Amino acid sequence: MVMTMNDETKQAVLNFTVRLGDDAVVMGHRVAEWCRNAPFLEEDLALSNVALDFIGRARMFYGYAAELANDGRKEDDFAYMRDHREYQNLLIMELPRGDFAYTMVRQLLVDVFNLYYLEQLMKSTDEMLAAIAAKSIKETRYHLRRSQEWVLRLGLGTEESKSRAQKALDDIWGFTHELFDLDELEQQMAGAGIGVDNGSLKESWSLKVKAILLEASLTVPEDGWKVKGGREGYHTEYLGQMLNEMQCVHRANPGLEW
Amino acid sequence: MSAENLQLFEIFLRSRRGLDHKHVGSLHAEDHEQALEYARDVYTRRGEGVSIWVVKSDDICASQEDDSESFYDPSNDKPYRLATYYKLPDEVNNM
């Protein structure tokens, strides 16, 4: 596949792949912030595992991007040497971890999205993207099992756990619309059978998410406000702060190996 | 939320098909289902298992130190319970 792509398509696939890497590395970093901060030891290990799954996924996407770029850049250059304006992750990934309920509600919304997204990406005509999706979807099924269960526990738990989960849901809901937008690049990729038509996933996503929320006796928020811009490099103020922390060691010692 | 509200579970892992489940340790969880997931994260990260059992630690009835006199001592003077007690005829080489 790589050999037969013309330069223009190759550049488009490269840009598209970097975005998927951005989604994964940003989400992974947010989950990793729980490492040694989780409510108890077992959950700490579980969250760290999930974080590592996302970071591993980012490595696969960035590694493939580096291969496509073929200009000496490596996966680390994509992760550590780009500024927040160059990052094109979906905004929902970069929201600060908040409290435990916030983290789990976000995780649920993202996991259900990833489940349907990766299912489609597995059918990509680009063999590498299809292979990465096939590997990742197994992890995502496990992530979803956890996040779904936690949202049920929180929703059906105490007054406090329920109100925290509901507040998280209300705060995050406006960021979910962006998941189903397609810009020009994504339309081009979906049209070529390389990418995924996100818009077509919205119905399955809504059905599944709403069923879980209903079971958790949480209220599905109204579709009111919407925020987007991640795919264009317009981010919340939080991403810059996050990248500062994530990138500072690498930037202080570029290319260092250990 | 803290570990005080959680229950203790014992984890048993089967590392390969055909082998028995072996006790590998314990962990805290809210219920069986969650214990199973944590067991996966705590004890099988490096591909150690093909099957996991979780059992509430409370449900395990264990023998006590004090029991050893009545439980184990009586067998000490009954060597005839061991195969090695019996002298085999020379014709039986490998037993």
* Chain A nearest-CA residue for B38: A42
Give pLDDT tens digits for B2-38: 667 899 999 999 988 888 999 999 999 999 999 999 9
CATH code of the region A7-219+230-252: 1.20.1260.10
Count helices and strands (H / E) in chain A.
10, 0
Q: How far is B35 from chain A (nearest CA, A)?
A: 9
B23 Cβ contact list (under 8 Å, min separation 6): B10, B11, B12
3-class state of residue B16 by DSSP: coil
- A42:B29 CB<8 A: yes
Q: Which of B41, B42, B46 to mutate to test the interface with A (most CBs of A within 10 A)?
A: B41
- What residues of chain A lie within 8 A of the CB of B37, using their CB? 46, 145-146, 149
**Least CB-CB distance to A42: which of B2, B28, B33?**
B28
Q: If we measure between CA atoms, which residue out of A63, A62, A55 comes closest to residue A26?
A: A55
- Which two tokens mark A218? 């949480």
Question: Among residues of chain B, what percentage have pLDDT more than 90?
Answer: 46
Sign of CA dihedral B26, B30, B34, B38: negative
- What residues of chain B lie within 8 A of the CB of A100, using their CB? 1
Q: In what order do the strands lie in the sheet with B51-56?
A: B22-29, B7-14, B51-56
Q: How far is B11 from chain A (nearest CA, A)?
A: 13
A70 Cβ contact list (under 8 Å, min separation 6): none
β-pairing verdict for B51-56 and B22-29: unpaired
Q: How far is A140 from chain B (nearest CA, A)?
A: 14
* Chain A nearest-CA residue for B1: A39
Using an 8 Å Cβ cutoff, are A128 and A61 in contact?
A: no
Instruction: Give the pLDDT of chain A (258 residues) as one tens digit per residue.
Output: 445 678 889 999 999 999 999 999 999 999 999 999 999 999 999 999 999 999 999 999 999 999 999 999 999 999 999 999 999 999 999 999 999 999 999 999 999 999 999 999 999 999 999 999 999 999 999 999 999 999 999 999 999 999 999 999 999 999 999 999 999 999 999 999 999 999 999 999 999 999 999 999 999 999 989 999 999 999 999 999 999 999 999 999 987 877
Average pLDDT for residues B34-53, to the nearest whole number? 89
- Give the number of other CB atoms < 10 A from CB of residue A18: 24
